[in-house]
Copies of this chain bind each other. A is one copy, B any other.
Amino acid sequence: MSKHSVSPEIDRLISLLAKLPGLGPRSARRAALALLKKPEALMKPLALAMGDAAENISTCSTCGNVDASNPCNICATPTRDNTTICVVQDVSDLWAMERAGAFRGQYHVLGGTLSALDGVRPEDLNIANLIRRAGEGRVAEVILAMNATVDGQTTAHYITDHLETTGVKVSRLAHGVPVGGELDYLDDGTITAAMKSRRPF
């Protein structure tokens, strides 16, 4: 951006917006313009919402979720089944599980996966806390819901190994044909997994 023509306030707004995932320099400029065209209806409310979230949202020290309270709303809800812990890579996966509404137990957010390539070691993730929670006696089952990627499955294996001493049941999400999916568009690994785990009709 030419230094002569754009005010430093706008330049700063664009460069900060460009740091958001999914926004490149071009879409950051578009977003900045959209904000500048609606200062009262969009820019001020968004600035307030961000300031508000920055002040009030923290990471749950039990499960790693982000929420306005600590322990988070999920950990603190007494009606949720606290004998089952679903382990997810990231908060976005927890949100996806909650949107699906298929699980009413507790969560544990790892904050990523083990990765030799990116130098992510077990102590960089929220794993020690998980082993501790699983060993507290209340927990009967740990469901590993990591992504079905190499790093996700490596992490699942590592956690399974370290949960052995606690004696809790460890399960993982089923592999298979996505609901609504077409065989022709699926990779070989998924079809093989779906065939292996076939169920009586």
* Contact A50/B53 with A21-B34, A22-B31, A23-B31 known, Cβ cut-off 8 Å: no
Check A150 for interface membership: any CB of B closer than 8 A: no
CB distance from A3 to the nearest CB of B (A): 10
Within 8 A of B (CB), among A100-149: 101
Q: Which 5 A-B pairs have the closest CB atoms?
A: A47-B50, A5-B98, A7-B68, A39-B54, A22-B27
CB distance from A22 to the nearest CB of B (A): 4
Can you name the residue of chain B whose Cβ is closest to the Cβ of A23? B22
CA distance A194 to B171 in the complex (A): 65
Interface pairs (21), CB distance under 8 Å: A2-B101, A10-B67, A12-B49, A13-B53, A20-B31, A22-B30, A22-B31, A23-B31, A29-B95, A32-B53, A33-B66, A33-B90, A35-B54, A39-B57, A44-B50, A44-B51, A44-B54, A46-B50, A47-B47, A47-B51, A51-B51
Q: Which residues of B contact A68 (CB under 8 A)?
A: 7-10
